[in-house]
A and B are shown apart, each in its own frame.
Chain A
């Protein structure tokens, strides 16, 4: 199987999977809730507006026809009208997604820069106290529920010491003309610190231990022995030969983690009142805002799938043997 063929196959697979997820979502919603606009009556929309929304969703038609309309709307980027905001869901979700990314990407970047470095240290100092401390520490950080560490950080840094804000993305009220303007400030960095720390600590353990394990595996390979025979210094062997080869699984894991983090760190957004996708979804559930919840879920699932595919493609690019094997990971 050639490289191009592999990429095309993976992308087709991605589209098929996403299509099936959309289908599952459709039937889950339609079967459990025959009339999702019921919530609109309470929301106080006029009869015309209700009819408009019903027509937009095609609720007056048969189930299969509804399904086709649902798919067509999705392809056109029409995710419906939020009951709560009385506005189109998609632009709102895009902004929330940006906010989520503004939190997740720095956090994952921090953990995937520090984590592998610590991993190198652990494998280098194998069998020492440093390694044991690192492993046990990593284990504990990994087991602590992330919302709990977040609460404790807020309590200690935000309330007892009062050096970091306890919620939000910016000090209210603020004005920003664009998303970029919103994050190009010190105020944002100040708000970012605690939630970022919380997530970074949670994600730190995984790259650290992956790095350590892969390093130890590679250190047993023949070419390292050759390097030693050549008389290279230990530091040079470690960083130039071992670490470079051990980075591969860490890089692919980083891609998968970004995908998962968008949907997987709802709690952190809730704890820190970060105006992201996850918090929006929880609010949508509380206010029975079905189009919003559905749209947010589609966006999260789509991101997970895309990032998984990117991870696969990255892996095949970095390690061509994968393509020859032909399978997924």
Chain B
């Protein structure tokens, strides 16, 4: 060759100019087509969602979201248990009922007060301190809580902080009269109030005391940790007498209800119920196993105990029977006075299968995980797999189609037979086999899609190359002595790029659906969220049959993404088939149809 002068890189680069122009052309075409524009905008929006997923997600998709609230269930003897009500944001620790009002002490220093006129009212009196006990008597109200916090008020005036001898948690209060009250607390604390000052009375124990119940000022029972039961009689504490000693008598007791001299109940850990018959305490068997937090008498023949996970036990005069659950939330106590009673609490609980709300836009899963955040993160997987797989498909398809179409002959024949073989391998089963042999991973999915779906691209590119090779400019290049690689790269590639772009869009839509399908079958990696795995999890949990908010959003996102890609590829067809630009009309007022659907894979 005569022409051997070394050319500079910039001079070489200029040969790629047609290719660069060909690269920008598709975007212009997408924007000029109205439906293509819609598709482009939607796809761009989903791309943005994927890029900014951490900002858009309202929760960590793996976090099991808990919910805290102050709730109660009103009940009246002889009638059904009523609806669970939420009265505030803090769990209630104690609730005291009088004829015309209800006073409740809650976590975070909150007090809730109910009167028929005002309804429930919230008041914060001790910020940052959990209030554990509340009691009312004739205009006198006392609330107490952690670290020796004790507040008192009379006749709705201001709350006054009281000085007490020990700075330990106060767990329960009982007001006997307007100038006598008792309180129990941690480390064996027992306090007595004479209308002016609080005095400690020695209990002889140093375990935490949890609850007290008084018949009158000289007869009461105090219970606490490790099976502590103390009888307070005439200003003195006496140890109890047990009918029999078992493990159960050494469990922590959380609540006591002293109904009359010959009947009292104490409840505690592992569903322990101990009954008092005037002389002895005895273990009372029942079929529950969860910790009981509260007990109250309705009458001599009727009593209730409540505990964790919504446990309610009823006493029918002889035995304790389980009452059907109203909620599965943890109760902290129960109280009853006169005609009305309340079960109250509750502990923080997993916000499972919550319906869509402001807090959780698409609701939550059976593990309390936020579906909106999962769907948002899922867009990353969908687009990543979609784009990577489409690139693999296209690079394989274009290269093989180019080589087959350019060299023809034996090579072409061989490559096209490989394409025929590929047409014999159904995608999903092939991917299943790959997962069986290797491990489920996102790369297996990309590999399966990439290995199997280039077949269509290769065929289409090949037929395009076959016609381009016959054009004069290719022949001219060949005569001028251009190498095969140069002809393929500089002369043919720019001409097949529009088609390659179209095939890229088609392959992407297909890859996104395929990824969702394979993930749905459980072939995706379990630790990564994708729209398919969300639906897979919904199906596995069995909750999908009722939790529509778990099923609809991921599928809708798949639909929208795939439709947007379809619309883009439809707009791109103008590039490959210039007749679509509105040239030869077939019938008056009719523009040549566009193939709306990509090839069946």
Contact = CB atoms under 8 A, between A and B. Distances in A.
B597 interface: yes
B437 A32 contact: yes
Nearest to A25: B433
Nearest to A220: B586
Contact of B589 (A127, A135, A155): A127
A266 B432 contact: yes
Interface residues of A, number: 69
Contacts of A198: none
Chain A at the B interface: SS class: helix
Interface string A125-141: 01100000001001110
B437 A148 contact: no
A329 to B, nearest CB: 9
A304 B586 contact: no
A205 B425 CA distance: 23
Interface in B80-135: none
Among A154, A219, A264, A270, find the residue whose CB has the most chain B CB atoms closer than 10 A. Answer: A264
Contacts of B587: 126, 216, 219-220
A148 B535 contact: yes
Given A151-B551, A155-B548, A17 B563 contact: no
Given A17-B417, A282-B521, A288-B436, A264 B428 contact: yes
A278 interface: yes
B582 interface: no
Contact of A300 (B429, B555, B600): B429
Interface stretch (A71-79, A175-183, A289-297): A289-297
A212 B593 contact: yes
Residue of B429, B433, B438, B520 most packed against chain A (CB within 10 A): B429
A206 B567 CA distance: 16
Interface in B436-463: 436-438
Interface in B554-574: 554-555, 558-559, 562-563, 566-567
B425 A21 contact: yes
A32 B438 CA distance: 8
A216 B586 contact: yes
Contact of B424 (A212, A278, A308): A308
A62 to B, nearest CB: 22
A297 B554 CA distance: 30
B516 interface: yes
B546 interface: yes
Contact of B429 (A28, A159, A263): A263
A140 B426 CA distance: 23
A301 B426 contact: yes
Contacts of A219: 586-587
Contact of B590 (A126, A148, A285, A328): A126
Nearest to A154: B545
A253 interface: yes
B490 interface: no
A26 interface: no
Contacts of B421: 17, 20-21, 24
A45 to B, nearest CB: 20
Interface string B386-424: 000000000000000000000000000000110011011
B482 interface: no
B600 A256 contact: yes
Nearest to A123: B593
A81 B597 CA distance: 43
Given A206-B600, A263-B429, A147 B520 contact: yes
A213 to B, nearest CB: 5
Interface string A72-94: 00000000000000000000000
Contacts of B426: 260, 262-264, 300-301, 304
A145 interface: yes
Interface string B570-601: 00000000000000001101101101110010
A96 B225 CA distance: 63
A301 B422 CA distance: 10
B552 interface: yes
B590 A127 contact: yes
A120 interface: no
B164 interface: no
A301 B424 contact: yes
Contacts of A270: 521
A139 B593 CA distance: 15
Contacts of A38: none
B424 A304 contact: yes
B576 to A, nearest CB: 15
B502 to A, nearest CB: 16
Contacts of A28: 433, 437
Given A154-B545, A260-B600, A144 B436 contact: no
A143 B424 contact: no
A145 B510 CA distance: 11
Given A257-B600, A266-B521, A144 B558 contact: yes
B513 interface: yes
Interface of A: 13, 16-18, 20-21, 24-25, 28-29, 32-33, 126-127, 135, 138-140, 142-149, 151-152, 154-155, 159, 166, 205-206, 209, 212-213, 216-217, 219-220, 253, 256-257, 260, 262-264, 266-267, 270-271, 278, 281-282, 284-285, 288, 290, 293-294, 296-297, 300-301, 304-305, 308, 328
16 contacts: A28-B437, A126-B590, A144-B559, A145-B513, A145-B558, A152-B552, A209-B597, A216-B590, A216-B592, A267-B517, A281-B429, A282-B521, A285-B432, A296-B429, A300-B429, A301-B429
Given A139-B566, A145-B559, A151-B538, 15 more contacts: A17-B420, A138-B596, A143-B509, A144-B555, A144-B559, A145-B517, A159-B545, A159-B546, A216-B593, A217-B586, A220-B587, A262-B426, A264-B426, A285-B433, A301-B425
The 4 A-B residue pairs with the shortest CB-CB distance in the complex, in nearest-first order: A263-B426, A148-B555, A220-B586, A143-B562
